[in-house]
């Protein structure tokens, strides 16, 4: 069971339908004139970023979750089954999307763009 | 392939605030002051703007930059000059080395550094002996800075200017006109040789002391007229002298064995009543032989006449022999060497009588270098660097703060240790070659314009590197003539630029201006050497060297851009 903890409680979606995290590498490559071998300047990669797709059974739950998500704060996601996705994150980049699932026309989807932070 | 890993840490003082550096640059440039300037973009956080605010406190940023793989580090401690930030949650901080602090400082009142440095031509062998490092040291002291070491060589920066000796018969060559016996003096005689002085006046006195008047002076209707003290009548032309002015009055006096001390005494007496208005003496000199006795005198206002006498004091001997010559009365603010129109010219001055020899004032004229004493007056409100730089430029020196803790005076031939090489096929990311007539000069004229009590004055310092110069730079400065040299240094510096080679490579933290530099590049298979020797060649073995004129460390992409200069011949 995935739990998102916020300053005033928790959000527990029915299921996290998707989790994709990307990290932009920071290392710089400098092309050297007249040489096939570039010089490399090592830099740390950016933290994990992506979009969480949360599924809620009712519009009420989905809207309640959205009203929490839009509050500027550091959130924490945990999942005892997949501990690797646990992180502190902020909501940033892209757009917070609330959608009635077109496939089921029953459940509600809340897409949350995130960036991992070191809280 | 070279792998590097660059790290930058920054702490802002005085609150020891750690800054999260997002980017920026640090640039060092020999043609600029401040020598080190930087820009940092840091992440904003609550209270950070106030902590950095340069108006609220004199803040600094300590930067430690390094390459963890190469094991090199470079530290800077730079002053915060400005901070700005907006809605993007970052602050941009402008940084500069301590030249900026020096320029911030100015005296509250006009300050004559010749007085502060006790300029005195009568001691030592030269004309005052003020070195570039002494002058700079005094100015730096105002902001708590010191030079790590004097430059080598440490050029003299003393003034050379016209000085008139108002005494009309200073050496008593054939008469003692203007002199008179005072209390206790007998056997008064002119033209007496003693030791190596060919001419002097001599008097004899009994034990206890004696006085002889070596000059008399009368002031009437705003002018001073030399006259014998014995009879208050003018001889020679009157000389303009405003009251509330300074005079340097001295004479060279000698005593034979038995005499204990001697000094100069100056008295101002009211013309109508003879009452003494003011009197003053020099310090006592003990022992026998010749010695200069003199002092600065602040002329009182009103109608008065002035007497100058030498007093000698004795012990138990019954007879004293005393001599005096080289009377010097000059309208100056500092002790100057005695002179008369018959003095042989030396490396600094020519001398001439204004009129009849030994019966008129005499003047010294700067022979090789004129450097006005007014140039040493630091005007209230002028920044320290603005005051100092024109004086230093006449002797080809540049004041540099290295962005950490060291002030140095550098000649144009200064070389820093180490070498930087940027080579095509090895580490060159890019390069640029530009030639611009705007920054090229082979001659320069620097006009100095200033005002003295005698009206506006202009002196021009001109230098040309070739007989028929192509471009002359003209510069006009509102300041007293500090001597020649700036024009030459402008041209010499311009000759090392003009055609500018710029190259970029991955940052090497030990690169610094005035260090040896080679830039080697290639176009279309032809190897071209772009040191600043301006030579394109096909010989791959030839590498020409110059020096680093400027280097910019770009923190955004871990590269540095180096601008080359031609190394100036030592």
Whether A89 has a pLDDT exceeding 70, the answer reads: yes
Average pLDDT over residues B135-163: 93
Whether B272 has a pLDDT exceeding 80, the answer reads: no
The whole-angstrom separation of Cα B533 and Cα A110 is 67
Q: pLDDT class for B360, splitting at 50, 70, 90?
A: confident
Do B7 and B65 form a contact (C-beta atoms < 8 A)? yes
Beta carbons of A42 and B69 less than 8 Å apart: yes
Query: φ and ψ at B102, to 5 degrees?
Result: -65, -40
Structure pTM? 0.82
Query: Which stretches does DSSP call E strand in B359-479?
Result: 362-366, 377-378, 397-401, 407-411, 416-423, 430-435, 443-452, 455-464, 472-477
Residue A45 Cα, gap to closest chain B Cα (Å): 13
Q: Which residues pair with B526 in a beta bridge?
A: B523
Dihedral in degrees, nearest 10, Cα atoms B46, B51, B54, B55: 80
pLDDT digits 0-9 by tens, A20-38: 889 999 999 999 988 889 9
DSSP B300: P
Beta carbons of B506 and A34 less than 8 Å apart: no
Per-residue pLDDT, B240: 41
Please name the member of A34, A38, A43 whose beta carbon is closest to the beta carbon of B1: A38
Which of these, B414, B383, B384, lies nearest to B398 by C-alpha position?
B414
Average pLDDT over residues B30-46: 92
Whether B530 has a pLDDT exceeding 70, the answer reads: no
The whole-angstrom separation of Cα B261 and Cα B289 is 11
Question: Long-range pairs for B476-480 at CB < 8 Å and ≥24 separation?
Answer: B476/B446, B476/B447, B476/B449, B477/B390, B477/B446, B477/B447, B477/B448, B477/B449, B478/B449, B478/B450, B479/B375, B479/B390, B479/B448, B479/B450, B480/B372, B480/B373, B480/B374, B480/B375, B480/B377, B480/B448, B480/B450, B480/B452
Beta carbons of A33 and B506 less than 8 Å apart: no
Whether B48 has a pLDDT exceeding 90, the answer reads: yes
pLDDT digits 0-9 by tens, B371-419: 889 899 999 999 999 999 999 988 989 999 999 989 999 998 899 999 9
A41 CB neighbours in chain B (<8 A) are 3-6, 506, 557-558
Q: pLDDT class for B312, splitting at 50, 70, 90?
A: confident
Beta carbons of B425 and A38 less than 8 Å apart: no
Higher pLDDT, B48 or B214: B48
Please name the member of A31, A34, A42 whose beta carbon is closest to the beta carbon of B4: A42
A103: exposed, middle or buried (C-beta count within 10 Å: 0-12, 13-18, 19+)? exposed
Whether B43 has a pLDDT exceeding 60, the answer reads: yes
Instruction: Kindly state whether B173 is in contact with chain A, defined as any CB-CB distance less than 8 angstroms.
Output: no
Q: Please spell the DSSP secondary structure of B200-223, one letter per residue.
A: -EEEEEETT-EEEEEEEEEEETTE
Beta carbons of B427 and A28 less than 8 Å apart: no
A39 CB neighbours in chain B (<8 A) are 1-4, 427, 429, 505-506
3-state class (DSSP) for residue B549: strand
The whole-angstrom separation of Cα A39 and Cα B297 is 73
DSSP B391: H
* B contact residues 19-48, partner A, Cβ 8 Å cutoff: none
The alpha-helical segments, DSSP class H, found in B423-545 are: 486-495
Query: φ and ψ at B193, to 5 degrees?
Result: -85, 135
B45: exposed, middle or buried (C-beta count within 10 Å: 0-12, 13-18, 19+)? middle
* B contact residues 64-123, partner A, Cβ 8 Å cutoff: 69
Do A51 and B14 form a contact (C-beta atoms < 8 A)? no
3-state class (DSSP) for residue A39: strand
Do A67 and A96 form a contact (C-beta atoms < 8 A)? no
Please name the member of A30, A34, A37 whose beta carbon is closest to the beta carbon of B424: A34
Whether B291 has a pLDDT exceeding 80, the answer reads: yes
Instruction: Kindly state whether B478 is in contact with chain A, defined as any CB-CB distance less than 8 angstroms.
Output: no
The whole-angstrom separation of Cα A4 and Cα B482 is 75
Name the percent of chain B lying above pLDDT 70.
86
The whole-angstrom separation of Cα B453 and Cα B329 is 19
Whether B480 has a pLDDT exceeding 90, the answer reads: no
Q: pLDDT class for B232, splitting at 50, 70, 90?
A: very low
A102: exposed, middle or buried (C-beta count within 10 Å: 0-12, 13-18, 19+)? exposed
Kindly provide the ipTM of the predicted complex, given to two decimals: 0.75
- Half-sphere exposure of A117 toward its Cβ, with a 13 Å CA cutoff? 11
Beta carbons of A33 and B430 less than 8 Å apart: yes
What is the separation of C-alpha B178 from the centre of its chain, rounded to a whole number of angstroms? Answer: 39
The whole-angstrom separation of Cα B353 and Cα B339 is 10
Per-residue pLDDT, B317: 61
- Looking at B110-114, B241-245, B248-252, which range is the least confident one? B241-245
Q: pLDDT class for B566, splitting at 50, 70, 90?
A: low
Please name the member of A30, A31, A32 whose beta carbon is closest to the beta carbon of B426: A32
Whether B228 has a pLDDT exceeding 50, the answer reads: no
Q: pLDDT class for B174, splitting at 50, 70, 90?
A: confident
Q: Say which residues have a Cβ less than 8 Å from residue B224's Cβ, sequence separation at least 6.
A: B166, B217, B218, B238, B239, B240, B241
Beta carbons of A40 and B558 less than 8 Å apart: no
Question: Long-range pairs for B241-245 at CB < 8 Å and ≥24 separation?
Answer: B241/B299, B241/B331, B242/B453, B243/B299, B243/B300, B243/B301, B243/B302, B244/B298, B244/B299, B244/B301, B245/B298, B245/B299, B245/B331
Beta carbons of B425 and A33 less than 8 Å apart: yes
* Interface residue ranges in chain A relative to chain B, Cβ cutoff 8 Å: 28, 30-35, 37-43
A43 CB neighbours in chain B (<8 A) are 5-6, 558
3-state class (DSSP) for residue B438: helix
B426 CB neighbours in chain A (<8 A) are 32, 34-35
Whether B524 has a pLDDT exceeding 50, the answer reads: no
Please name the member of A30, A33, A39 whose beta carbon is closest to the beta carbon of B424: A33
């Amino acid at each position: 069971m995935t739990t998102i903890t916020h300053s005033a409680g928790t959000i527990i979606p029915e299921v996290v339908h998707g989790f994709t995290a990307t990290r932009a590498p920071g290392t710089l490559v400098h092309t050297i004139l007249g040489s096939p071998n570039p010089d490399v300047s090592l830099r740390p990669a950016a933290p994990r970023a992506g979009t969480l797709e949360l599924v809620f059974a009712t519009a009420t739950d989905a809207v309640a979750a959205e009203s929490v998500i839009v509050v500027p704060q550091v959130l924490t996601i945990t999942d005892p089954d997949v501990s690797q996705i646990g992180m502190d994150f902020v909501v940033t980049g892209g757009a917070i999307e609330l959608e009635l699932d077109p496939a089921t026309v029953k459940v509600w989807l809340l897409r949350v763009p995130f960036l991992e932070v070191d809280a | 392939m070279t792998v590097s890993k660059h790290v930058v840490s920054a702490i802002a003082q005085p609150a020891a605030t750690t800054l999260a550096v997002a980017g920026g640059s640090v640039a060092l440039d020999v043609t600029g002051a401040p020598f080190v300037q930087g820009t940092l973009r840091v992440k904003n956080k609550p209270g950070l703007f106030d902590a950095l605010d340069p108006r609220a406190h004199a803040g600094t940023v300590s930067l430690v930059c390094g390459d963890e793989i190469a094991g090199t580090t470079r530290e800077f401690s730079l002053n915060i000059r400005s901070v700005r930030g907006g809605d993007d949650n970052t602050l941009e901080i402008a940084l500069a080395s301590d030249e900026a602090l020096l320029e911030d400082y100015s005296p509250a009142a006009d300050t004559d550094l010749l007085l502060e440095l006790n300029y005195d031509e009568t001691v030592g062998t030269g004309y005052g002996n003020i070195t570039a490092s002494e002058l700079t040291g005094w100015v730096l002291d105002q902001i708590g800075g010191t030079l790590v070491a004097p430059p080598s060589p440490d050029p003299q920066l003393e003034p050379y200017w016209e000085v008139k000796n108002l005494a009309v018969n200073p050496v008593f060559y054939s008469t003692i006109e203007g002199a008179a016996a005072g209390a206790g003096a007998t056997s008064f005689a002119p033209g007496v040789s003693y030791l190596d002085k060919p001419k002097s006046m001599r008097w004899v006195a009994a034990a206890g002391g004696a006085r002889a008047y070596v000059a008399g002076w009368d002031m009437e209707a705003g002018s001073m007229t030399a006259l014998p003290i014995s009879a208050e009548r003018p001889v020679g032309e009157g000389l303009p002298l405003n009251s509330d002015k300074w005079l340097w009055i001295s004479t060279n006096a000698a005593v034979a064995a038995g005499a204990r001390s001697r000094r100069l005494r100056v008295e101002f007496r009211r013309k109508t009543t003879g009452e003494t208005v003011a009197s003053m003496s020099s310090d006592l000199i003990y022992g026998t032989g010749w010695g200069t006795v003199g002092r600065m005198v602040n002329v009182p206002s009103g109608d008065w006449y002035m007497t100058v006498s030498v007093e000698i004091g004795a012990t138990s001997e019954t007879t004293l022999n005393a001599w005096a010559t080289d009377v010097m009365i000059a309208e100056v603010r500092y002790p100057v060497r005695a002179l008369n129109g018959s003095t042989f010219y030396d490396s600094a001055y020519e001398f001439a009588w204004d009129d009849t020899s030994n019966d008129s004032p005499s003047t010294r004229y700067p022979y090789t270098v004129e450097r006005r004493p007014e140039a040493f007056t630091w005007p209230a409100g002028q920044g320290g660097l603005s005051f100092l730089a024109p004086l230093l430029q006449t002797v080809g020196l540049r004041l540099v703060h290295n962005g950490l803790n060291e002030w140095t005076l550098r000649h144009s031939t200064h070389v820093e240790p180490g070498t930087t090489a940027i080579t095509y096929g090895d580490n060159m990311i890019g390069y640029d070659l530009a030639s611009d007539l705007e920054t090229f000069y082979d001659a320069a004229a620097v006009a100095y314009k200033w005002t003295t009590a005698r009206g506006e004055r202009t002196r021009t310092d001109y230098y040309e590197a070739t007989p028929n110069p192509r471009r002359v730079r003209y510069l006009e400065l509102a300041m007293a003539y500090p001597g020649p040299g700036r024009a030459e240094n402008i041209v010499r510096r311009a000759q090392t630029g003009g055609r500018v080679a710029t190259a970029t490579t991955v940052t090497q933290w030990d690169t610094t201006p005035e260090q040896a530099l080679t830039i080697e590049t290639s176009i279309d298979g032809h190897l071209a050497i772009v040191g600043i020797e301006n030579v394109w060649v096909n010989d791959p073995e030839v590498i020409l060297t110059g020096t680093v004129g400027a280097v910019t460390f770009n923190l955004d992409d871990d590269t540095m851009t180096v601008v080359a200069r031609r190394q100036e011949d030592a």
